[in-house]
Structure 1
């Protein structure tokens, strides 16, 4: 097989995106969704593998800024639109795209690359570690309630058309994003993604609605949702499908959830993506009625290891030498001394004896403060070479809130 990898050109975007849709097996997206993704595509960061006159592989990247522990907004490459046609599997197409992509990222300003994986097993071999989890739930609001915090009655709820509410919602999101590692600052154009509501993509639900929560005339939270009709001979059993919800304080968050759980003719609130330490776990009077589930979300790849580890802060003082294995990006391999605390960090090459041995995948998993080095060591993935080093490093990497990817890409 003779293939050629090259940067995507504007005239080839339709075929590029069509091949992506075909690889994932679904129907074509509605025209308005397709048009927005075309606008958001960064052509200079999009790769296509050609076999003769046909595209057989696709990959792209978005230029994001991601919150890391300590609150810094770090440039990050958001790997996206990765596919290989079924006729060309296991022929090195994906590896060639990952090789070119990570080489390009290395030469740019982004010390990390991130992605959401259709199949997580694929990306571990390229050094991506599972860095965040997401919470899913199907809350039975007939059998559990939301605790009423003092002050919730002072929060005014107001339904506003999606587009009309967008600016206020984005202002709230912009204040929330720096508070939790893994969240992405909204780049120009991305504020339009939550507004996509093509009838063909609603899965039987009604139009998407937006409720804003106001205190003394200031918008301090919002929720975007739709209602899916489900009636039986016993009456209504409708489901509130929550798209996203954010608030600037606990009282407003509780007020939003009280609103969502008490919409007439509904019996459930379903969502697929909230932090695993979401306050809702404590607001529900019976958490078991939430029917909770957890799955992987953001996968993290340290591309320029030293720069990435210096960009975040550490919950506890740490001074350890890491023996890092990185077969796909060998410039990261070897020994690094990480010294840091809550004020900052340094990470430099060293010839000192190693304290911990691990691969770049385990470092990526721990980078945002979620999966711990201790947990990975218990799975045999991290080796302690100096007694006490594992506990020291694991405490330091851990954050006070769980990292979370607020929206896909």
Structure 2
């Protein structure tokens, strides 16, 4: 079905190619109306999946937009699970509080279920919006502001054997993508790069540089093979005392500790700079253990990926668990009622089974809490301490919390 009725006599329908420009303009206006470069606009147009995108129309005017990219996200245990990447969501200011967003979220989750995808994920422009639709905050990230004049780096043995060289970002893209692809299974929350997405990583419109240089790239090599890369900009800042310029880090990935150390040492030591600034870095990263003074690294934690279990049984079966677990969840899900009820999860580090049951519940919670805990970075025990998970069987919360954890903190590796 491609059309449905929404409140206030508006029509919700699947996006048609001829409507894309007005649909996208509605989105840009919802985010402040700043124009984009032709290159950037054309790239997002090429990535739009029309059959997975909807718009709300009031007569001939688009007043709502939402889309869902086809993604695969790494879950604890290393499996890559189909997930709908909810994105390009915007409602015209003239049509707020009329049910437009709710109608799009309703249609979208119905569609995701029909596609057989157990997860939906998103990043939120406003964190308060999506909890009512069952999305839980599943990953966090760090913003860095490192004073490199006062923080020193001690790198692992072998870093001096890594060769670094400058490369044109677009020309090195394939080699960098090969490194990234090897990293994806190692950390929950990372997204496998889907066809057409690699150019986004080196998209470099001048209007988005905030006064910094064009994108630069350094690759790390060992025995002729690329084993890591860093993409960054330099933002000049001079005063009467000299240079206070910053290295603005966009991406750093490496296959081993020595290569990781060599790349971060390079970023610390770039001439005429005095700090490193980066956004969206993992909560846990090797350089944390190489620095001389973590207090001067200006770490600021913020929300990352929001996770929504569209099919509770399939989602919980798709991942593995740190310790053996046998628990009955009583799940509340008002927005997707097919998830409501009791589910028995049995599993361990080798796999899991999750089925509906009539057995008595061990834990009671909403689908939002399951989404938050799903990738292993948000402990169920912490949610329980906040009153968001109710323990019915004594001891069940601690057991499940340990089982749901992840050795590696989850991280969303790129935005969408």
Q: Does 1:24 align with 2:52?
A: no
Deviations 1:323-343 (A, max 9, x none): 000000000000000000000
Q: Distance in 1 between matches of 2:18 and 2:33?
A: 23
Question: 3-state DSSP class of the match of 2:77?
Answer: coil
For residues 36-90 of structure 1, what are the alpha-carbon distances to aligned partners after superposition, in whole Å with 9 as ceiling and x for unaligned?
Answer: 0000000111100001110001000100011000000100000000011111111
Q: Post-superposition shift, 1:149?
A: 1.5
The unaligned stretches of length 5 or more in structure 1 are none
Return the alpha-carbon distance in structure 2 between the equivalents of residues 282 and 333 of structure 1.
43
Q: Aligned pair 1:13/2:20, yes or no?
A: yes
Aligned counterpart, 1:204: 211
Q: Deviations over 1:199-221 (max 9, x none)?
A: 12111001100000011111100
Calculate the TM-score normalised by the size of structure 2: 0.98
In 2, distance between residues paired with 1:242 and 1:58? Answer: 31
Tell me by how many angstroms 1:145 deviates.
1.1
Structure 2 counterpart of 1:255: 262
Equivalent position of 1:280 in the other structure: 287
In 1: Cα distance, 2:398 partner to 2:256 partner? 33
Please give the residue correspondences for 1:10-409 in structure 2 after superposition, counting only pairs within 5 Å.
10-409=17-416
SS at match of 2:314: helix
Count residues in correspondence. 409
Distance 2:43 2:202 in 1: 11
The secondary structure found in structure 2 opposite 1:256 is helix
Q: Please list the CA deviations of residues 337-393 of structure 1 after superposition, one character each: whole Å capped at 9, or x if unmatched.
A: 000000000000000000000000000000000111000000000000001100110
Which residue does 2:3 correspond to in 1? none
| Separation of aligned partners in 2, 1:157 and 1:292 | 27
Aligned-CA RMSD value: 0.6
Residues 261 and 26 (structure 1), Cα distance of their counterparts in 2 relative to 1, 3 Å cut: farther
Q: Find the aligned partners of 1:29 and 1:278 in 2 and give their Cα distance.
A: 33
